[in-house]
Structures are given as structure tokens and as C-alpha cells.
């Protein structure tokens, strides 16, 4: 199926987890994919996975907490590709310390920068060419922590993902008249490397029961493949049979240091 043939997609946090799955699926649907992140090694692994499946991909390194680096990255992309048709703001980060009693200013800034500021700055930098061509898709991989904030997710991560959802809502109000779709995907627990940053790291058996990255990627692909007259503004995805998280909540309340 080549529903995205001729389109260029840019996926942040594309080296692992959901970002890698999204890159593979978008490429399989015909898009030319560029993945972005801090570390080139996992990005190159994603590129190879895309190529092994017959797709087209490349990688660029960018510090998504640095507004100037984001702007430079975006301008380089536009100079090479002309426009980005699909932007997937997927990069995410959560601190190990979750309790409001213990989380400090540096952790607040780091989490907000990656989950909220970075996506907003990348969107701004790539938006005008979408407006000029009268079409585009901007996808935010948010979190159910932004829908139902919790002690387990922590105050800062919940706040960052809530802010990301609100940003996307306002973005939709501004840009849908230009043919640009604003799509927020909010997953619950997904078995990705971010789980390693939990106060209580889930064991292998627990992770096997979680949603997998390809589950979220399937939702992204569906949303960007719809006819242009249709827009899915928000998708909330949770486990069919959610697990008992009481031990995780207790750990989140009591974890004081990384």
C-alpha cells in the first residue's frame, strides 16, 4: 500500500520505540522518511530497518532541547527537501524522580523542553511551507498522562504532556483552514526504552503485556492516511486489560533521587 507516495515525513525521536515503528510504517506506505534524535547510532539502525524493508530513509542529529539547534535542523531539512509533509513530534523524556516533594528545577526544565518546547519550536520552524502548499500533517505523540494526570507519571511529565495536548488543540484552530491537520496521539503504557526510566522498572513479563510501539504506529498511519477532507484530532490508546499499578504508584511517591 503506497498511500503516502511522494510525501516526506520527519520523525523526531526516531531511533527507538514508537518513533522507529512510525518511521518503518510511514516508509512502508510510500513516504520518504527522515528520523531525528541526539544519537546517530540508533537513528542509523532505524534507517537500515527501513531500507531492509524496501523503504527510503535518512537520519539527522539534533538536540531537541535547544531552540537554535532545532531551527538550524529545520532550515537544513527545508533546504534539502523543500517541505515536510508529515511532522511526527515523537521525542519524549521523563525523569526518574516523580514526586512533587523531590523533583527539582533541572528535571522540570529537561522534561518540559523535550516534551513541550521542542515540539512547539520544531512545528513553528516547519509550518510555513505547509501553509504555502496548502496541506500537511502535524502529529504529536503525547501521553495518557496528559489526559489523566497521575502520581505514577509524575507532576512534571503530566504537566508537559497536558501542555502538548493544549498546544495541539490551539494549533488546529489556527492551521486547519490551510489544509493542515493537527493530530494528537496519547498512548498509555507502551513497551519502549522510556520504561527503563521508571522509579520501578517493569519486568520482562509485565512489559510483554503492554502495548507495543507498532500499536501506536498503526494509529498514526491511519490518521495521516485518511482523505484530506477528514481529520482525527485526537486518539487515546490504552491497554485492553490495564495492569495493577499500585506498586508503581508507591515507588513514584517515594523515589527521591535518580
Q: Which domains does the chain have, with CATH numbers?
A: 8-254 (3.40.50.720)
pLDDT per 10-residue tile (average), the chain, 258 residues: 88 97 98 97 98 97 96 97 98 86 92 97 98 98 93 91 98 98 96 80 85 97 97 96 79 68
Is 102 one of the catalytic residues? no
Q: Which of 205, 234, 222, 213 is nearest to 140 (CA)?
A: 234
**Set 10, 93, 157, 167: catalytic member:** 157
Give the pLDDT confidence score for residue 255 in this predicted structure: 61
Give the pLDDT confidence score for residue 184 in this predicted structure: 99
Q: Which residue has the cell 516526506?
A: 8
The Cα–Cα gap between 201 and 7 comes to 38
Amino acid at each position: 500500500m503506497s498511500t503516502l507516495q511522494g510525501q516526506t515525513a520527519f520523525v523526531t525521536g526516531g531511533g527507538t520505540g514508537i518513533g522507529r515503528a512510525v518511521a518503518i510504517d510511514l516508509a512502508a506506505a510510500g513516504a520518504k522518511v527522515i528520523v531525528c534524535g541526539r544519537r546517530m547510532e540508533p537513528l542509523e539502525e532505524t534507517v537500515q530497518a527501513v531500507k531492509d524493508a524496501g523503504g527510503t530513509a535518512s537520519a539527522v542529529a539534533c538536540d531537541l532541547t535547544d531552540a537554535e539547534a532545532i531551527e538550524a535542523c529545520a532550515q537544513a531539512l527545508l533546504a534539502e527537501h523543500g517541505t515536510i509533509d508529515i511532522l511526527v513530534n515523537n521525542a519524549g523524556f521523563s525523569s526518574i524522580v516523580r514526586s512533587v516533594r523531590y523533583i527539582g528545577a533541572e528535571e522540570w526544565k529537561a522534561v518540559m523542553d523535550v516534551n513541550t518546547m521542542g515540539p512547539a519550536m520544531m512545528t513553528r520552524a516547519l509550518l510555513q511551507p505547509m501553509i504555502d502548499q496548502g496541506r500537511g500533517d502535524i502529529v504529536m505523540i503525547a501521553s495518557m498522562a496528559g489526559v489523566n494526570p497521575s502520581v505514577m507519571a509524575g507532576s512534571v511529565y503530566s504537566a508537559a504532556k497536558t501542555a502538548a495536548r493544549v498546544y495541539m488543540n490551539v494549533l488546529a484552530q489556527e492551521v486547519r483552514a490551510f489544509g493542515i491537520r493537527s493530530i494528537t496521539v496519547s498512548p498509555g503504557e507502551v513497551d519502549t526504552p522510556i520504561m527503563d526510566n521508571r522509579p520501578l522498572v517493569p519486568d520482562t513479563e509485565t512489559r510483554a503485556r503492554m502495548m507495543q510501539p507498532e500499536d501506536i504506529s498503526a494509529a498514526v498511519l491511519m490518521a495521516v492516511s485518511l482523505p484530506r477532507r477528514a481529520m482525527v484530532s485526537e486518539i487515546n490508546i490504552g491497554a485492553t486489560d490495564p495492569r495493577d499499578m499500585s506498586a508503581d504508584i508507591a515507588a513514584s511517591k517515594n523515589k527521591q533521587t535518580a
